[in-house]
Amino acid sequence: MAADRAYLPGARLGTGLASVETEVARLLTRFAQAGAERVEPPALLPADTLLDLYGEDIRARAYVTDDPVEGERMLRPDFTVPVVEMHASHGATPARYTYAGPVWRQQVPGAGRPTEYLQVGFELFDTAAAADADAEVFALLADAVGDEATVETGDIGLLLAAIDALSLDERRRAMLRHHVWRPARFRRLIERFRAPGRLADRLAALPDTAVAEHVRSLSPEIGVRSVDEITDRLHALREEAEAAPLPDADVALLDALLTLDGPMGEVLGRLRPLAESRPPLAAAVERLGKRVEALGRRGIDAAALPFATNFGRTAMEYYDGFVFAFTAPGRPDLPPLAQGGRYDALTAELGPAIPAVGGIVRPEALLAARS
């Protein structure tokens, strides 16, 4: 029906609309009280930026439209990217921003999820203590959704740090980092690095020398990828095939790390022995410890917060540190009422690297959960 909106039948007019407007205003006021400046990013974004960030997949998730002069545009699937760009060109760090408006997402047919829904968000750009910034945003979003919500937390930074701690060369580490947000592909890479011999079988047909000649013998040279590039990668694969396998202890570390699930304080206790003699991971565990303290200073019993190392690995792809979501208990039909996290790497992709953490509330889902 024309008057229906996400999770709220008929709420595009009358009292339904009034309650949505009131809720959006309440959230904006709450975020402004926390020091945020109101911003209003455009709804039509240049497609290139989003395609560069998310790849071709974004076309199946965002709505693409075309302007004969401006070129391909996308209906904003998310506020974070335009807010980061706004900050990069106009803002001075530290900065806090708030915004409200619709986002548009294509959904799987039959999934029953809305293609247009409201977000009210808060983003914090700050080079000072990350733990304090994490705690500030989490506490603010927790307060905005209220006590009823169920909370989930995680930290993508732990897995990224564990990758840095593995006995691998930089090439293979980069491959793992690239697939942190795709668990099945990540697992296939681990299996491949465990048994480099399989790669050797595949390369057995290659001559020991004159690899480039061999490549040229296969077919005429067509396409932009040169024989040199192909030869370079064949050499890299051969090196990988001859490299030491990923040690069992490293695989065990990843397995142990990725199955941690429990109260944050307890997980922290179990992480400490895992991080022993692995400095990059130890630093990430230290950051988690500092976050627990910073949350405590804001009156949150962080040690008791549910925490899972695997949380946020599929649905929240640009987050690379602390991640969290608040859901409505007993309402599997609703998406998270609020979610957010740290996305330092995203800012570096779009402009100058600025440590950043933020989150959004879905006011329509929040109202539906209360009703």
Q: Which residues are annotated as a binding site?
A: 78-80, 105, 119, 123, 313, 318-319
**Closer of 38 and 188 to other proteins (Cβ):** 188
CA gap 50, 119 in Å, rounded: 18
Beta strands 64-67; 71-75: pairing state: antiparallel
Tokens 């407007």, residue?
21
C-alpha distance from residue 224 to each of 212, 216, 267 (Å) = 16, 14, 49
Segment lying near other proteins (by CB under 8 A), choices 133-141, 209-217, 259-267, 287-295: 209-217
CA gap 350, 347 in Å, rounded: 5
Pick from 4, 37, 40, 57: which binds other proteins (CB under 8 A)?
57
**Closer of 92 and 108 to other proteins (Cβ):** 108
Pick from 3, 115, 129, 202: which binds other proteins (CB under 8 A)?
202
Pick from 15, 209, 219, 277: which binds other proteins (CB under 8 A)?
219
**Closer of 167 and 231 to other proteins (Cβ):** 231
**Closer of 86 and 215 to other proteins (Cβ):** 215
Segment lying near other proteins (by CB under 8 A), choices 35-43, 82-90, 222-230, 358-366: 222-230
Closest CB 300 distance from other proteins, rounded Å: 35
**Closer of 188 and 297 to other proteins (Cβ):** 188
DSSP string over 267-299:
HHHHHHHHHTT-HHHHHHHHHHHHHHHHHHHTT
Q: What are phi and psi of 330, to 5 degrees?
A: 70, 10
Residue 243 makes contact with other proteins by CB under 8 A: no
Closest CB 254 distance from other proteins, rounded Å: 17
The helix (H) or strand (E) run that includes residue 327 is strand 322-327
CA gap 311, 152 in Å, rounded: 8
* Beta-strand runs (E) in 19-113: 37-38, 44-46, 64-67, 71-75, 95-104
Residue 224 makes contact with other proteins by CB under 8 A: yes
Contact 237, 201 (CB under 8 A): no
Binding-site string for other proteins from residue 170 to residue 199, where x marks contact by CB under 8 A and - marks none: -----x--xx--x-xx--x-----------
Closest CB 173 distance from other proteins, rounded Å: 13
Residue 59 makes contact with other proteins by CB under 8 A: yes
Residue 112 makes contact with other proteins by CB under 8 A: no
CA gap 113, 97 in Å, rounded: 28
Amino acid at residue number 147 = D
Binding site for other proteins (CB under 8 A): 51, 54-57, 59-60, 108-110, 175, 178-179, 182, 184-185, 188, 202, 206, 214-216, 218-225, 227, 229-230, 233-234, 237
